[in-house]
Amino acid sequence: MPRPDWTPHRRDDGELLGWIHPDGDDWIAVDVLGRPASAPTEWLDAEAALEEHGIAWLAEPWMLEGEDARPLRVRILEVTPDEDGAPGRIVVKIDDFGDMTRPATAQFILSWPIPDRLRPPHEGDPDPRTISR
């Protein structure tokens, strides 16, 4: 658990969706990447925010900045939060579009919680499926 006052919140199948922690008289939901998933709210609303947020978005493409001249399109392989004083990590790899016949692509180990240089794609980001000059 990242912090002693964070309570894990799991789906019915046991999959971790994030944590809920106190904020004064309210509660804040935090997703598995360590980002707020709700504003300060009631406990049940924080749970609902994590349920609605889910974890399917982890499978989507992400953009990693700072490793090349242009942002790299990557996929998340692993998310390990801080635990018992041990730092967590996020492992990503260059998107290979699921091609199992390709050689392994480069992997990058990032700190947890999510650093600013790992972000969802924005319109105008380079698309590695197209050839550009």
Domain housing 79: 60-119
Structure tokens, 94 = 């260059």
Q: Are residues 77 and 90 in the same domain?
A: yes
Average pLDDT, the chain: 91
pLDDT in tens, 25-56: 999 999 999 999 999 999 999 999 999 999 99
Cβ neighbors of 103 (< 8 A, separation 6 or more) are none
Q: Which of 16, 38, 57 is the last residue in one of the domains?
A: 57
In percent, the amount of the chain with pLDDT more than 90 equals 73
* Domain annotation covers residue 126: no
Are both 40 and 73 inside the same structural domain?
Answer: no
Q: What residues have CB less than 8 Å from 18, skipping those under 6 apart?
A: 8, 9, 29, 30, 31, 32, 37, 50, 53
**Mean pLDDT confidence for 96-117:** 87
Residue 132, pLDDT score: 56
Condensed to tens digits (0 to 9), the pLDDT of residues 17-31 reads 999 999 999 999 999
Residue 124 falls inside a structural domain: no
Q: What is the pTM of this model?
A: 0.85
Whether 128 is covered by a domain: the verdict is: no
Does one domain contain both 70 and 46? no
